[in-house]
Amino acid sequence: MKKFINDVENVENEMLEGIVLAHPEYVKRLEGFDVLVRADKKVGKVALVSGGGSGHEPAHGGYVGKGMLDAAVAGSIFTSPTPDQVFEAIKAVDAGKGVLLVIKNYTGDIMNFEMAAELAEAEGIKVANVVTNDDVAVEDSLYTTGRRGVAGTVFVHKIAGAIAEAGASLEEVKAVAEKVIANVRTMGVALKPCTVPAAGKPGFELSEDEMELGIGIHGEPGTERKPIQTADVIVDYLMERILKDMNPQSGDEVAVMINGSGATPPMELYILNRRVHQILADKGVKIFKTFVGDYMTSIDMAGASITLLKLDGELKDLLMAKADTIGFKME
Amino acid sequence: MATKAEVLDFIRIYADKMAEHRQELTDLDQAIGDGDHGINMSRGFKAVMEKLPAVENKSIDEILKTVGMTLISTVGGASGPLYGTAFMKAGMSTKEKEELSNEDVILAFDEAVGGIQFRGKAVRGEKTILDSMIPAIDAIKASIKEGKTMAEALVEAEKAAWNGVEYTKTIIATKGRASYLGERSIGHQDPGATSMAYAFQAANEVAQKAGK
């Protein structure tokens, strides 16, 4: 394992220190906790708290700021943060109008955030939560824990954050977040696995000529392993599954996110994006806005995901509303 | 029965096992999960060992609750809430007891497993912790009912726990991250069931040492 680290036990902590030193105008750290909150004082609005394991940067601390999150809780790498940490975040940002927790659909995340919500409610704080589950690679059935929350979560942060910033009630913020969740779909692919520092070796193995389709953001094995193909063929495969699930009609409008997994050059992400645009144009689906970059990474995984968000007038306005965070800006 | 010294001994031995089997549990989790079970459990029990001296002289329920709280706040993932809740519930069931009768031990295990089921919303047969835990507890109950000692019962419990671990290789995961693999999870041993089996191994070792 070759990484810029000092001590595997201290990676998360030193990263948080580095983030705060780099961006004091955006975030500060809750003393004694792995929680980043907005640098400016909390305002009289519904507060948004998200988080999860570390290793997905800029998620989630990079989305703390005006128009998005009020706090992000950072767990150990790929491990949900603990209830006490989430509880501190809730207490720190609650401004009397309630707190919405944005949770990605993983067993651990749900348990830890639920326990934190129980603690907060016991102290009289109004808490609601939404669970993101945009990954079409995983079947949503009674027999699984449901689809995983992946890169589409960033759209939930953006859009729910915008309506909260505008002064909406907790119920309204939750409703909009759920609308995004209902309309966002993602699928990913990996070319090379990622290495969790404490594990010291890759989470799975792929030979030089293989790719893992349907990969999760924690390096969990995907749904299918195949010989590597050209970028266009890979996009066709991913888009076929996304479109089948989403079923957009000609004339529908979508936002597109081409997300890099951490070790994918922008060059390749743009090549993927090119094909996504071609496919949507063929279907008559209008692209309202495109995002290309590292939004929800998996440490040093080489891979990418494609996210489509079906938009209506309300979602378009909220998507374009002003946001100013480390990892996501909208002028 | 179990004395406070034995409860403490159990916690220490289990903590040693989590450190010793850190890599094994992580490897199992890498095959079907996110590859951190051993890392998280050993981190949690390292923290438990740091907290233990401060509560050694307190009651059994205080000791168990401290273990539970420490696991909840240090392990993370799904294992933190699950193991943490198990120790918390076991602790709450032993309130004001300085020594546990066989009935008390069984009640503590029942409360622990109930806590895990509540938090994890799982049942037996879903390739989880429960697949080694429930058969082990059933074995204790059956043995005690037959008039065996707790030491004899724990021999059976450990056996049942490892059989449960073997059984997890044959079934599809429907809870936790392994469920994303669907049928591809068959053939793999569940890391959570394995770490739980080590708990019964630890309890068995304590009982054999005490010889009862």
Tokens of A248: 């957009």
- Asked whether the beta carbons of B94 and B111 are under 8 A apart, the reply is no
pLDDT at B30: 87
A97: exposed, middle or buried (C-beta count within 10 Å: 0-12, 13-18, 19+)? middle
CB contact under 8 A, A112 and B184: no
pLDDT at A145: 76
pTM for the structure as a whole = 0.87
Helices (H), chain A: 11-22, 83-93, 107-122, 153-165, 170-183, 231-246, 266-283, 313-320
pLDDT tens digit sequence for A240-269: 999 999 999 999 999 999 999 999 999 999
Beta bridge mates, A92: none
pLDDT, chain B, mean: 94
Q: Which residues of B touch A145 (CB under 8 A)?
A: 174-177, 179-180
pLDDT tens digit sequence for A270-317: 999 999 999 999 999 999 999 999 999 999 999 999 999 999 999 999
CATH topology assigned to domain A184-320: Hypothetical Protein Tm841; Chain: A;domain 3 (3.30.1180)
Q: Which residues of A touch B75 (CB under 8 A)?
A: 82
A323 DSSP assignment: E
pLDDT at A43: 75
Beta bridge mates, A103: A131
Q: In chain A, what is the straight-line distance between the N-terminal and C-terminal CA atoms, in Å?
A: 40
What is the radius of gyration, based on Cα positions, of chain A? 19
Identify the CA nearest to B25 among candidates B189, B201, B166: B189
Q: A interface toward B at CB cutoff 8 Å?
A: 53, 75-85, 106-108, 111-112, 115, 137-139, 143-145, 148, 196, 198-199, 203-204, 216, 218-221
pLDDT tens digit sequence for A86-117: 999 999 999 999 999 999 999 889 999 999 99
CATH of B2-210, one of 2.102.10.10, 1.25.40.340, 1.10.510.10, 1.10.10.10: 1.25.40.340
Question: Domain A8-182 is classified in which CATH homologous superfamily?
Answer: Dihydroxyacetone kinase; domain 1 (3.40.50.10440)
How big is the CA angle at B100 (ends B94 and B103), to the nearest 5 degrees? 90
**Where do the CATH 3.30.1180.20 domains begin and end in chain A?**
184-320
Q: Which residue, among B30, B119, B181, B184, would best test binding to A if mutated, counting the most A CBs under 10 Å from its CB? A: B30
CB contact under 8 A, A218 and B34: yes
CB contact under 8 A, A76 and B176: no
Identify the CA nearest to A321 among candidates A186, A151, A164, A103: A164
Does the annotation count A157 as an active-site position?
Answer: no
- d(CA A197, nearest CA chain B) in Å: 11
Tokens of A198: 């404490």
Residue of B nearest to A86 (CA): B73
Per-residue pLDDT, averaged over A217-235, amounts to 91
Identify the CA nearest to B144 among candidates B158, B154, B159: B154
Q: Which residues of A touch B73 (CB under 8 A)?
A: 82-85
Residues of chain B short of pLDDT 50, as ranges, are none
Tokens of A191: 């070319």
Query: Cβ contacts of residue A211 below 8 Å, gap of 6+?
Result: A189, A190, A191, A225, A226, A227, A228, A229, A234
Q: Which residues of B touch A212 (CB under 8 A)?
A: none
Q: Annotated catalytic residue: which of A23, A60, A157, A218?
A: A218
Domain boundaries, chain B: 2-210
CA dihedral B50, B137, A112, B33 (to 10 degrees): 100
Tokens of A136: 């079409």
